């Protein structure tokens, strides 16, 4: 473990997080620090509890123990929508967009999240700057009037990230953003995340090692609900024998898995 300087701002500070699903400890005493403006990856085999950690941060799952500090404010016990309004956005493993609405309407709803109910009852006229910028960032300008349900898998992921960008979050949680994507789509998603990282802090759950190498500032490895290796650089993680072991233990090497994931 590297010695951490004191002066670096921790945007998200998780301590002793524990989630107990009827006796099964999905997350068991996890400590995690995400620094301001970094791209932090959370990796580990299936069932390691990565997504559950994200669910706890966003209020989707209630932890049984531990503390989650965001900007020094305790998130435990807060409602999902209150957490979003504090500046935390998330994507879902399977892109979740509003399929019956057009791309533009999807982005517009995301951008209007601070409107009062009275203001929401008014009809939309034109688009805001945030929506236009998100259309450009995600490269979805050409399909802005198409229903989101007709988009490809990759386009839906970009739309979802675009929706979150419209909200100008401080912390963005991405749950396997490149799963099931073609190589070209991966590259475009990477570019989008790089762009995202210029504006906010990113915590990303991902399996794809190649993707991780290209974009991660720091990596935390989880296994069976625990932290296997606390936040380290990509090189340190790849050199770690225990990390290699959990991947080899499942019958494959870390490189092998990366190859498989990127094809």
Partner 1 sequence: MTTFVKSFVPSNRSEWSSRATFVAVAILFLFVFPAWLSDSRLDLMASYVTYAIVALGIAIAWGNGGMLVLGQGLFFGLGAYCVGMYLALVEVGGAPNLPQFMTLLGSQETLPALWEPFNNVWFALSAAVIVPVTLATILGTLIFRSRIRGPYFAILTQALAGAFAILLIGNITLINGTNGITTSFSEIFGLSLFEPADQRVLYTIVVIVLGIAFLLSRQMLKSRYGRLLLAVRDAEDRVRFLGYSATKIKVIAFATAAGLAGVGGALFVLVGPKIISPASVGIIPSITMVVWVAVGGRASLAGAIAGAILVNTAEFEISSAAPEYWLYFQGALFIGVVAFAPKGLAGAATWLKEKVTSRGSSSTTSTSKTAEEAA
Residue with Cβ nearer partner 1 (119 or 142): 119
From 150, 152, 182, 233, residue interacting with partner 1 (rule: CB under 8 A):
150
The minimum distance between CB 83 and partner 1, in angstroms, equals 8
Q: Which of 67, 35, 54 is nearest to 200 (CA)?
A: 35
Q: Is 25 a binder of partner 1 (CB under 8 A)? A: no
Distance CA 46, CA 66 (A): 23
Instruction: At 28, list the tokens.
Output: 């068991």
Judged by DSSP in three states, 33 sits in strand
Residue with Cβ nearer partner 1 (106 or 232): 106
Q: Please report where in the chains the tokens 């951490």 appear, as a residue.
A: 4
Distance CA 50, CA 224 (A): 10
From 61, 96, 128, 238, residue interacting with partner 1 (rule: CB under 8 A):
96
Torsions phi, psi for 146 (to 5 deg): -85, 150
Q: Is 38 a binder of partner 1 (CB under 8 A)? A: no
β-strand pairing of 218-223 with 39-43: parallel
39 - beta bridge partners?
202
Q: Is 102 a binder of partner 1 (CB under 8 A)? A: yes
The minimum distance between CB 146 and partner 1, in angstroms, equals 7
The minimum distance between CB 142 and partner 1, in angstroms, equals 14
- How would you class 5 by CB atoms within 10 Å of its CB: exposed for 0-12, middle for 13-18, buried for 19 or more? exposed
34 - beta bridge partners?
12
Residue with Cβ nearer partner 1 (98 or 244): 98
Residue with Cβ nearer partner 1 (33 or 108): 108
Stretch binding partner 1 (CB under 8 A), from 76-84, 129-137, 210-218, 238-246:
76-84
Residues that bind partner 1 (CB under 8 A): 58, 60, 79-81, 84-85, 89-90, 92, 96-102, 105, 108-110, 112-115, 117, 119-125, 145-147, 150, 163, 167
């Amino acid at each position: 473990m590297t010695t951490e300087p004191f002066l670096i701002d921790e945007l998200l500070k998780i301590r002793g997080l524990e989630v107990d699903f009827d006796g099964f400890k999905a997350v068991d005493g996890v400590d995690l620090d995400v620094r301001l403006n970094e791209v932090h990856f959370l990796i580990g085999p299936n069932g390691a509890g990565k997504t559950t950690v994200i669910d706890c941060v966003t209020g989707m799952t209630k932890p049984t123990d531990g503390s989650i500090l965001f900007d020094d404010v305790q998130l435990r016990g807060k409602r999902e929508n209150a957490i979003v309004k504090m500046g935390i956005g998330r994507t879902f493993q399977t892109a979740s967009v509003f399929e019956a609405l057009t791309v533009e309407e999807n982005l517009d709803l995301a951008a209007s999240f601070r409107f009062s109910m009275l203001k929401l009852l008014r009809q939309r006229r034109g688009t805001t700057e945030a929506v236009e910028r998100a259309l450009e960032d995600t490269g979805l300008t050409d399909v802005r009037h198409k229903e989101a349900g007709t988009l490809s898998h990759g386009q839906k992921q970009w739309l979802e990230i675009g929706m979150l960008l419209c909200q100008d979050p401080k912390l963005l949680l991405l749950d396997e953003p490149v799963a099931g994507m073609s190589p070209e789509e991966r590259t475009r998603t990477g570019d989008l995340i790089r762009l995202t990282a210029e504006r906010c802090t990113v915590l990303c759950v991902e399996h794809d090692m190649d993707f991780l190498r290209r974009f991660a500032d720091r990596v935390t490895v989880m296994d069976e609900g625990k932290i296997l290796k606390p936040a380290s650089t990509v090189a340190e993680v790849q050199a770690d024998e225990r990390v290699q072991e959990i991947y080899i233990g499942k019958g494959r090497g870390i490189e092998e898995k990366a190859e498989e994931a990127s094809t």
